[in-house]
């Protein structure tokens, strides 16, 4: 019996801020994006369960940003 197991590509959920934030990297002011990135274990190319979750906050123009906590992602 053969099983095909792997790690699927990341899926994401994005939210935009309600206020503009200044980016120190590209010097633009825009509505930054908070993103939840999920990576799943797959069985026969179907997602089975999530194995890794990252929360990031970044500039939509240059993609400069950093990881944030789950509480910060849900706070806004």
**The model scores a pTM over 0.85:** no
What is the spatial distance between Cα 37 and Cα 55, in angstroms, rounded to a whole number? 6
Say if CB 59 and CB 32 are below 8 A apart: yes
What is the spatial distance between Cα 62 and Cα 8, in angstroms, rounded to a whole number? 26
Give tens-digit pLDDT for 22-57: 999 999 999 999 999 999 888 877 888 888 999 999
* Tokens read off for 27: 């010097």
Domain ranges of the chain: 5-75
Q: In which element (H, E) is residue 20 found?
A: strand 11-22
Phi-psi label, residue 27: left if phi above 0, alpha if psi -120 to 50, beta otherwise: left
| pLDDT in the model for residue 13 | 86
Say if CB 50 and CB 70 are below 8 A apart: no
């Amino acid at each position: 019996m053969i099983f095909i197991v792997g790690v699927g590509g990341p899926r994401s959920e994005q939210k935009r801020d309600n206020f503009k934030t200044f980016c120190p990297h590209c010097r633009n002011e825009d509505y930054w994006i908070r993103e939840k990135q999920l990576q799943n274990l797959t069985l026969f190319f179907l997602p089975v369960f999530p194995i890794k979750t990252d929360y990031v906050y970044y500039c939509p123009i240059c993609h400069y940003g950093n990881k944030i906590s789950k509480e910060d992602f849900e706070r806004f």
